[in-house]
Amino acid sequence: MSRHRFPMGARAMTGTVLATVLLVGCTGSGGEDEPGPTAAPTTSMVPPSAEPTDVATDPPPSPSGTPEPNEEREVAVTLTFAGVLDRGSAVEAAGFVDVREDGGTCTLTLTRDGTTRTSELPATPDASTTACGGLAVPLSDLASGTWEAVLSYESADSAGRAPAVDVDVP
């Protein structure tokens, strides 16, 4: 068997060519990217449909719970005190309404055996409620005995009343 010997320069050149081919294969053509073929824009014509289709619509508005004009909403009224204070000269009452608003009126109504006595004052809005205070019916207007006391509230927008409580008049 005979061995062929390549001169040293040929071996070096073969190695250089091989390295160049490998590098070009890894990096692409080595030149600037040439633009490839581009797609032509296409257009499509769809004939309009003569048949109606369903379209989403907003539901009709539902009642929001707010009263209509001239319709009063019911509010909670709390009677915090009703009675005759020591050495008092009147049945006094106080309470509050669970809304804060201007322009309301608080009324204390005392009833006994078909007789009714009332005291009315403007309500006072405070931080988060409407106060009803300072309501008083003089003892001179009341017969001795047990009277039913009711605190009520009314404004252009709201109305309500507290449950009745008994008040003993000396």
Q: Could you report the per-residue pLDDT of 20-74, keeping only the tens digit for each?
A: 444 444 454 444 555 555 544 544 454 555 555 555 555 555 555 554 556 789 9
Nearest to 138 by CA among 110, 96, 165, 115: 110
Residue 40 has phi, psi (to 5 degrees) of -80, 140
123-141 pLDDT, tens digit per residue, is: 999 999 999 999 999 999 9
Confidence band for 18, pLDDT divided at 50, 70 and 90 = very low
Q: Which H or E run contains 151?
A: strand 145-154
pLDDT at 98 > cutoff 70: yes
| CB distance 135 to 121 below 8 Å | yes
Whole-structure pTM value: 0.59
pLDDT in tens, 106-119: 999 999 999 999 99
**CATH class of residue range 73-169:** mainly beta
pLDDT value, residue 48: 52
Dihedral sign for Cα atoms in the order 135, 140, 144, 147 = negative
